């Protein structure tokens, strides 16, 4: 093999809670995992501040710190953690090819995909500047910080509807900003939103600006029919306009739903290609929590271990 090529037993792509948990289990099972961290080492949690819902941290912890601890735990058992991202794959043969940084070829007996998902954002400068300082893409993660306060959430799908009702239990007032004259969410979810007294739905409304110096102090919105502007007195701004799984390089190889979430066989992390497993947000559009990602990361390492054992690959 050329210098640019290398064979590994277990290749892990991605370094969020799913990838690191897969690495901990795979390393302890002596699969000698090699992990490529991807473009955002540590994943989505590195963009959050405090994490209070991960079991085992009674006082809470900071997202970046938690991911650093995940990394150290994976390293402690011998995971070979590397910089680099998977730029393309070839899953034709029994041995799987993955190209790193568009040049280095890795062949692997098993591949664990833990490439996660990225939240979609509106694209406003103020939204990015205050991200983590009152702006969040995860109500379940950050809603608690805004209890007894006023917040706004933008989006009209099932996620936005679910998160609006979740926030309504914690916050005194929730504005739901919907760009059309109707919601995309299921009728049942819409019904729940409409019957929650402290949610005010603003139809035909778009966000102009998130206001605030260091933290959010208000949100400026505009009615896209009348042009009328309004300033919402809120301290939290949640964006729930969908997620995009980071799975583009697997298109054509792996079965996916229409958004690009990898389809795994029920009760496992197996994909349609033998020896290729998917875990975390790359295959989960429903739960999307660090702890559920970690759970499926564990499953993928156990699935990979069994796959190798069944084939006598040591």
Among the listed residues 10, 109, 142, 281, the single catalytic one is 142
CB of 79 to ligand NDP, least distance (A): 32
- Which residues have C-beta within 8 Å of that of residue 205, sequence separation ≥ 6? 177, 178, 179, 221, 222, 223, 224
CB of 165 to ligand NDP, least distance (A): 11
Q: Which helix (H) or strand (E) holds 9?
A: strand 5-13
Alpha-carbon distance of 51 to 59, in angstroms, equals 9
| Of residues 84 and 242, the one with the C-beta less far from ligand NDP | 242
- Residues 313, 266, 41, 91, Cα dihedral to 10°: 50
CB of 57 to ligand NDP, least distance (A): 26
| Of residues 71 and 243, the one with the C-beta less far from ligand NDP | 243
Among the listed residues 141, 171, 279, 298, the single catalytic one is 141
Alpha-carbon distance of 201 to 195, in angstroms, equals 11
- For binding to ligand NDP (CB under 6 A), which residues are involved? 122, 154-160, 162, 179-180, 184, 241-242, 285-286
- Residues 242, 243, 247, 252, Cα dihedral to 10°: -10
Alpha-carbon distance of 24 to 10, in angstroms, equals 12
Q: How far is CA 244 from CA 158, 165, 223, 247, 260, in A?
A: 15, 23, 27, 8, 7
CB of 314 to ligand NDP, least distance (A): 41
| Of residues 122 and 170, the one with the C-beta less far from ligand NDP | 122
| Of residues 97 and 184, the one with the C-beta less far from ligand NDP | 184
**Closest residue to ligand NDP, based on beta-carbon distance:** 157
CB of 244 to ligand NDP, least distance (A): 10
Annotated active-site residue 142? The verdict is yes
CB of 118 to ligand NDP, least distance (A): 12
E-strand spans in 91-154? 96-100, 104-113, 117-119, 135-136, 150-154
- Which residues have C-beta within 8 Å of that of residue 265, sequence separation ≥ 6? 271
| Of residues 65 and 292, the one with the C-beta less far from ligand NDP | 292
| Of residues 21 and 196, the one with the C-beta less far from ligand NDP | 196
| Of residues 241 and 254, the one with the C-beta less far from ligand NDP | 241
How many other CB atoms sit within 10 Å of the CB of residue 253? 19
Annotated active-site residue 255? The verdict is no
Among the listed residues 10, 109, 138, 298, the single catalytic one is 138
Annotated active-site residue 141? The verdict is yes
Say if strands 173-177 and 243-245 run parallel, antiparallel, or are unpaired. unpaired
Q: Quote the DSSP letter at residue 262.
A: B
117, 115, 133, 122: which is closest to 240 by C-alpha?
A: 122
* Residue 143 main-chain phi, psi, to 5 deg: -55, -35
204: exposed, middle or buried (Cβ count in 10 Å: 0-12, 13-18, 19+): middle
CB of 166 to ligand NDP, least distance (A): 11
Residues marked as catalytic: 138, 141-142
């Amino acid at each position: 093999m050329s210098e640019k090529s290398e064979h590994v037993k277990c290749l892990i792509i991605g370094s969020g809670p799913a990838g690191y948990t897969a690495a901990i289990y795979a390393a302890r099972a002596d699969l000698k995992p090699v992990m490529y961290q991807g473009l955002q080492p540590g994943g989505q949690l590195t963009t959050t501040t405090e994490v209070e819902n991960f079991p085992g941290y009674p006082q809470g912890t900071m997202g970046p710190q938690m991911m650093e601890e995940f990394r150290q735990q994976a390293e402690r058992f011998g995971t070979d953690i590397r910089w680099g991202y998977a730029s393309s794959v070839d899953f034709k043969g029994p041995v799987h090819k993955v190209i790193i940084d568009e040049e280095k070829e890795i062949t692997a007996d098993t591949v664990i995909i833990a490439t996660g998902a990225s939240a979609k954002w509106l694209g406003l400068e103020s939204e990015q500047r205050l991200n983590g300082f009152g702006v969040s893409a995860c109500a379940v993660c950050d809603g608690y910080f805004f209890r007894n306060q006023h917040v706004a959430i933008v989006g009209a799908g099932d996620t936005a509807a679910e998160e609006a009702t979740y926030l309504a239990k914690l916050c005194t007032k929730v504005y739901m900003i919907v760009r059309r004259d109707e919601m995309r969410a299921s009728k049942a979810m819409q019904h729940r939103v409409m019957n929650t007294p402290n949610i005010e739905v603003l139809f035909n409304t778009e966000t102009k600006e998130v206001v605030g110096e260091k933290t959010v102090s208000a949100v400026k919105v505009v009615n896209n029919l009348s042009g009328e502007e309004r300033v919402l007195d809120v301290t939290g701004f949640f964006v729930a306009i969908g997620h995009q799984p980071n799975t583009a390089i697997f298109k054509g190889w792996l079965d996916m739903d229409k958004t690009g979430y990898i389809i795994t066989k029920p009760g496992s992390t197996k994909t349609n290609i033998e020896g290729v497993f998917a875990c975390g947000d790359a295959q989960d559009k429903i739960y999307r929590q660090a702890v559920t990602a970690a759970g499926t990361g564990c499953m993928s390492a156990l699935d990979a271990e069994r796959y190798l054992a069944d084939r006598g690959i040591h």
